[in-house]
Amino acid sequence: MKTRLLANGLEVSSMGLGCMGMSEFYGQRNDKESLEVLARAVDLGITLFDSADMYGPHHNEELLGSFLRATTAPVKIASKFGINRKPGQYARSIDNTPEYATPVP
């Protein structure tokens, strides 16, 4: 797998894996199958996964967290945040305040 060096010096695979569909939007989610896809992506050399806290909401990042706890693969996560959406609704609002961006301990 070819890699790319990002402007901040981070090296990632040229291809990434978008994980949105693992949590919603394209039918019922299947965590077991999604974890198998993540493992296969790593086997193929993919080191960049794309997520967002609104996917699920929060399910996608939780799914990726469970995968990362079970692997030593050098995976990087690109996660968008600040887009608020209530479960089952598509109306969105933006919250880019420092309080929202601060991780929960």
Please, which residues bridge with residue 80 across strands?
Answer: 52
Residue recorded with tokens 């996917």? 55
Residue recorded with tokens 């919603």? 24
Is 55 among the catalytic positions?
yes
Give the type of residue at 38: L
Name which of 82, 84, 78 is nearest 50 in CA terms: 78
Are the C-beta atoms of 62 and 56 separated by less than 8 Å?
Answer: yes
Active site residues: 55
